[in-house]
Amino acid sequence: MTMEELLGIIGVMMMTGYRTTHNKKHLWSAKDDVSSVWAQELMPRNRFLELLQNLHLADNSNISKDRYYKVRPNFQHLNAGFKTAVLTRNLSVDETMVPYYGRHSTKQFIRGKPVRYGYKLSCLAASTGYLYHAEPYCGGFHRCKVCNSRTNMSCEKCAVPLHPKCMKVYHTP
């Protein structure tokens, strides 16, 4: 795989976030309503599918009990970047759904919502829409190791269930 092919795959994946199709193969279709000239000129369909099938961003030898172990480093990296911004006064803690219709053990179904199937994220956001922290919902709560209250957050260093306010207390010698 070349760097141009990797950037092309990332570009196609970002484009499908804005222009949804039932199947990525449809981007190479002859039908005008689902095809993408940009994707067709980028690389052949079979090459794209082969690279996408063999592209892994996580080491499968480090499997843990965390259901999001493959994408957890991405969340940690994004959250660290989000924290560089200055906090505003009006903050909101809420849940959001990321649409997903495939199979996964953490996929949620919420009847009566605009996005009924997908991944649930707990988010800390400003009234301007800026996201300060996002944490995927892993299915159920755990008990904080310091204060013994319910939490769905865990320590970024050791994956122990902790409240953010208890992390400093837990790691002090």
What band does 150 get if pLDDT is binned at 50, 70 and 90?
Answer: low
DSSP 8-state assignment for residue 119: E
Q: Model confidence over 5-45: pLDDT tens digits? A: 888 888 888 877 666 677 777 788 888 777 777 888 888 88
- Distance from C-alpha of 53 to C-alpha of 13, rounded to nearest angstrom: 13
Asked whether 167 and 160 are in contact (CB, 8 A), the reply is: no
State pTM to two decimals. 0.59
Q: Model confidence over 43-78: pLDDT tens digits? A: 888 998 898 888 887 777 777 777 788 888 888 898
DSSP annotation string for 129-169: S-EEEEEE--SS-EE-TTT--EES-B-TTT--B--GGGHHH
What band does 119 get if pLDDT is binned at 50, 70 and 90?
Answer: confident
Give the per-residue pLDDT at 155: 59
Burial of 19 (0-12, 13-18, 19+ CB in 10 A): exposed
